[in-house]
């Protein structure tokens, strides 16, 4: 098909560029909001008010103007809890991805670079890990270790590294046959230096793209674990935990479950949009 210029296409490309920028800025705003939560939140997220239980959002009949998104079953302000809940989600997302990268990237480099037995062993390990229904594996490990913030980060990091390994391995296999790597080797560069200085810089874009996919996935998984009561423990506000508590009231009080879920959805959507934009920008060949 000939690549012809059309206005719709040009508009679409510009729109995507703008969308990436806007997504990035909004994410930054969420992160800043999480850091400044004590100053931004109108109420203490843990303060209960028995006289104002299950108040609907302020625009509905019976709502109070100071509780913008309503209150939960013990009269805590939902908006304040959502603002504080961002802390848990972003923290778990970021740290779990760092852990997964710290395990997955070195293994991928080792498998791709040294080949042979190392490669076979690591690739088999990746295959086994990818076979597990990792939601279930994460649940089972949490059940043994006990639910806590640290354990959740560890479990999510340990169950999600294979994606890094698989992509890094494939890239290294391709890169190590290229002329510039061969040349560096012919000039007598050592293995460690070769990997760090010649190969690794070429992996950065792939790593960035995978990380954005994984952060979004981790946030959803974290909220699912908290939703089941196996993640962050109450009363610490977390989006998943609020959703889990709100589920019990969903038949009559829809706002309890709706807003925290919306927060998860918007955050992961922004991360995915940013990731898609970064992928187009960093590595057009990975475009779907």
Partner 1 sequence: MKRYLAHQCIQLLVVCLGISVITFLLLHLKGDPVVLLLPLDAGKEEMERFRHLMGFDQPVLVQYLRFLTGALRGDFGDSLYMKKSAFALVVERMPATLLLTFAGLIISLVIAIPLGIVSAMKRYSVVDNLCTMFAVGGQAMPIFWLGIMLIIVFSVKFHWLPASGFGTWTHLVLPATTLGLFLAPLTMRLVRSGMLEVLSQDYVRTARAKGVSEPDVLLKHAFRNVAIPVVTVIGLQFGQLLGGAIVTETVYAWPGVATFTVTAIRNSDFPVVQASVFLLALCIVVVNLMVDLIVGMIDPRIRLEG
User: Under the rule (CB under 8 A), what is the footprint of partner 1?
Assistant: 1, 6, 8-9, 12, 124-125, 127-128, 130-137, 139-145, 216, 220, 223-224, 227-230, 243, 246-247, 250-252, 254, 257-258, 261-262, 264-265, 268-269, 271-273, 276, 288
Choice between 77 and 276, CB closer to partner 1 = 276
Q: Least distance in Å: CB of 46 to partner 1?
A: 23
Choice between 197 and 247, CB closer to partner 1 = 247
Choice between 23 and 181, CB closer to partner 1 = 23
Q: Least distance in Å: CB of 190 to partner 1?
A: 33
Choice between 186 and 252, CB closer to partner 1 = 252
Q: Least distance in Å: CB of 142 to partner 1?
A: 8
Q: Least distance in Å: CB of 229 to partner 1?
A: 8
The secondary structure of the chain, three-state, reads CCCCCCHHHHHHHHHHHHHHHHHHHHHHHHHHHHHCHHHHCCCCCCCCCHHHCCCCCCCCCCCCCCCCCCECCCCCEHHHHHHHHHHHHHHHHHHHHHHHHHHHHHHHHHHHHHCHHHHHHHHHHHHHHHHCCHHHHHHHHHHHHCCCHHHHHHHHHHHHCHHHHHHHHHHHHHHCCCHHHHHHHHCCCCHHHHHHHHHHHHHHHHHHHHHHHHHHHHHHHHHHHHHCCCCCCCCCCCHHHHHHHHHCCCCCCCHHHHHHHHHHHHHHHHHHHHHHHHHHHHCHHHCC
């Amino acid at each position: 098909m000939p690549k012809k210029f059309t206005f719709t296409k040009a508009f679409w490309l510009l729109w995507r560029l703008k969308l990436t920028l806007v997504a990035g800025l909004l994410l930054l705003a969420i992160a800043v909001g999480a850091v400044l939560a004590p100053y931004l939140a109108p109420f203490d997220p843990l303060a209960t008010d028995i006289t104002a239980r299950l108040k609907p959002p302020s625009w509905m009949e019976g709502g109070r103007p100071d509780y913008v998104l309503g209150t939960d079953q013990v009269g805590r302000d939902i908006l304040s809890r959502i603002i504080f809940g961002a802390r848990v989600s972003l923290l778990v997302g970021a740290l779990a991805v760092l852990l997964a990268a710290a395990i997955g990237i070195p293994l991928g480099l080792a498998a791709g670079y040294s080949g042979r037995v190392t490669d076979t062993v690591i690739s088999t390990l990746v295959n086994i890990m990818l076979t597990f229904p990792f939601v279930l594996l994460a649940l089972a490990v949490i059940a043994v270790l006990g639910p806590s913030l640290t354990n959740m980060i560890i479990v999510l990091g340990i169950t999600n590294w294979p994606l890094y390994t698989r992509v890094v391995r494939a890239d290294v296999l391709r890169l190590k046959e290229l002329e510039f790597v061969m040349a560096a080797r012919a000039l007598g560069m050592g293995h460690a230096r070769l990997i760090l200085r010649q190969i690794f810089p070429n992996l950065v874009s792939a790593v960035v793209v995978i990380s954005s996919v994984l952060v979004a996935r981790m946030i959803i998984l974290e909220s699912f674990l908290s939703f089941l009561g196996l993640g962050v423990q109450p009363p610490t506000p977390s989006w998943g935990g609020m959703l889990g508590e709100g589920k019990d009231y969903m038949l009559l009080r829809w706002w309890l479950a709706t807003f925290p879920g919306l927060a998860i959805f918007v955050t992961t959507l922004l991360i995915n949009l940013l990731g898609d934009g970064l992928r187009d920008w960093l590595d057009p060949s990975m475009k779907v």
